[in-house]
Amino acid sequence: MAKHKLDGHPDGAGNGHHGAAPADGPDEAESGSDELLATAATVGVVAVGALVFEAALIPGMILGVAAMLAPKALPMIGSAVNPLLKSTVRGAYRLSEKAREVAAEMQEHVHDIVAEVKSEGEAKVDARQERAPSPPGP
């Protein structure tokens, strides 16, 4: 009769194994959900206890919970952040290329102004030399 209570088979033929294979469907999802719910409930109870006895423990508990959840959450966060990171790098690259173009154009403009000023200075020197009286010759 004790065997009936342990494995649920009234005929005593049960060996602890059920005839059908366990289902891989919703039971696994419910198991993960139940585990998460149990963890959340445990953390909540401990947080309330810490708040009642010593509020200074809360920051340490938050860090502990973050450390516990990090291995589970980082892959999900990484896959979500990857497109954002790629678009940010792409935008920064485009911005740097545009900045290089603008800098090259500014440099060319400055060189043009310098060449123009230089040619104007040379033209003034030439004009002075033409206006200057030539020394009388023997």
Neighbours of 124 (CB within 10 A): 10
Task: Judge contact between 12 and 3, C-beta under 8 A.
Answer: yes
pLDDT the model gives residue 27: 53
pLDDT for 58: 72
Tokens 């810490």 -> residue: 50
Query: In angstroms, rounded to a whole number, what is the distance separating the alpha carbons of residues 31 and 5?
Result: 25
Confidence (pLDDT) at 3: 46
Is the whole model's pTM more than 0.75, yes or no? Answer: no
pLDDT tens by residue, the chain, 138 residues: 444 444 454 554 445 444 444 445 555 555 667 887 888 888 788 778 777 777 777 787 788 878 877 787 777 777 888 888 899 999 999 999 999 999 999 999 999 999 999 998 888 877 777 776 666 655
At 20 the pLDDT is: 47
pLDDT at 70: 78
Could you please report the per-residue DSSP string of 6-43?
A: HH--TTS---S--SSPPP-SHHHHHHHHHHHHHHHHHH
